[in-house]
Amino acid sequence: MAEILLQVKNLKSVYKTRFNERIIAVDDVSFDLESGKCLGIAGESGSGKSTLAMSIMGYYHPPLFYESGAVYISGVDITKLPYNQLREKILGKEIAYIPQAAMNALNPTQKIINLVADVMKEHVKGISFNDVKKIAEERFETLNLPKDVLQRYPIELSGGMKQRTVIAISTILNPKILIADEPTSALDVTSQKIVIKLLKNLIKRGFIKAMVFITHELPLLYNIADDIMVMYAGEIVESGKAEEVIFDPIHPYSNGLMTSIIVPEKGIKGKKLIVIPGAPPNLKYKLEGCRFSDRCLYAKDECKTSKVNMKYVNNSRSYRCISQVDELKEMYKDGKKPATT
């Protein structure tokens, strides 16, 4: 059996605002990440993807607070580690994080090589600049990035090149796990493909062992993820093998994400686009019943009030809906009216 590198158990994280609000942005999230795998996390804006990523990294700084649950990284529950130990032993080495929009946060006054040196010197005591240069050049070459990028300033690089550079810098210490938060969102389709190829290459070459890839575009995950978790309003609403979740979604929200897009290869001819109505709930309010029920085309009266737990179809497939799989599939068929009670 493959080694589990990251295990998240019933994790709950809360923003406590200066207006005395409690925003439960990550609510009872659990999953395992095995060596060799890429887990894709999809969900629209505000679903809690970045907060989950920060929580896994132990970045609990006000207004974000840990509430409950555990995050095991290589067997250590990092929620129990003091931040200095977390920083010394885990961050950057066991797990690295590329925050959303990181490519726009590169220090504009430093050449890329100096940014690589900053990362390396923090973790490899006494390493010389020449060694940094040698390691960086070798890594950039292996990843098909031109070496001369190292001598440039961030402003001199295109968006795609900047993102590839950020990925190369973040993984220079060969962390076991990489969390990439929306690494392709600001890029054109060609650059997206190149970035995805680079990320896959990192696993193939053994520079990293596993990855979490966050995006708001569920279909994009087909190109990279082995498994997918769909998040909505802080909760996981569906998880399973990438192909199953994309081509045969169970949860009405995942189904909505897939029916509201145009598949470029197939064009729009003959395809009915069904947009998910409404907007996600405000997480500062206590939410009863299914969080998606207000927007769900297939909601029943009881969905508004009944708490919905994850249901397991098999070991790898689960969903959070009171309806049964067959019932949902029937409702998704063309021409069928949404169920009413």
Q: Examine residue 50 and tell whether it contacts Mg ion (CB under 5 A).
A: yes
* Kind and range of the H or E run holding 296: none
Nearest residue (CB) to Mg ion, 50 versus 323: 50
Element (H, E) at 199: helix 189-204
| Tokens found for residue 71 | 């995050």
Site for ligand ATP in 161-220 (CB under 6 A): 216
Q: Is 277 left (phi over 0), alpha (psi -120 to 50) or beta?
A: beta
Quote the least distance from Cβ 197 to ligand ATP, whole Å.
23
* Residue with tokens 């690089």, as numbered in its chain: 157
Identify which of residues 101 and 127 has a Cβ nearer to ligand ATP in the complex: 101
Which one of ligand ATP, Mg ion, none is in contact with 38 (Cβ closer than 5 to 8 A by kind)? none
Cβ proximity of 36 and 205 under 8 Å: no
CB of 35 to ligand ATP, least distance (A): 26
The token pair that represents 170 in the structure block: 């973040």
Give the tokens for residue 48: 């809690």
For ligand ATP, the binding residues in 139-158 under the rule CB under 6 A are: none
> Pairing relation of β-strands 318-319 and 235-241?
antiparallel
Q: Is 25 in the site for ligand ATP (CB under 6 A)?
A: yes
Candidate segments 93-101, 274-282, 305-313, 331-339, binder of Mg ion by CB under 5 A: 93-101
Phi, psi of 309 (to 5 degrees): -95, 165
Query: What gap in Å lies between CA 254 and CA 42, rounded to an integer?
Result: 9
What number of chain residues touch Mg ion (CB under 5 A)?
Answer: 3
Q: List the x/- string, 35-74, binding to ligand ATP by CB under 6 A.
A: --------x-xxxxxxx-----------x-----------
What does 165 interact with, of Mg ion, ligand ATP, none (CB < 5 to 8 A by kind)? Answer: none
- Rounded Cα gap, residues 317 and 48, in angstroms: 21
Residues 279-308, interacting with ligand ATP (CB under 6 A): 283
- 42 versus 136: smaller Cβ distance to Mg ion: 42
**Does residue 174 contact residue 207 with C-beta atoms inside 8 Å?**
yes
23 lies in the site for ligand ATP, by CB under 6 A: yes
**Which residues are at the interface with ligand ATP (CB under 6 A)?**
15, 17, 23, 25, 43, 45-51, 63, 100, 216, 283
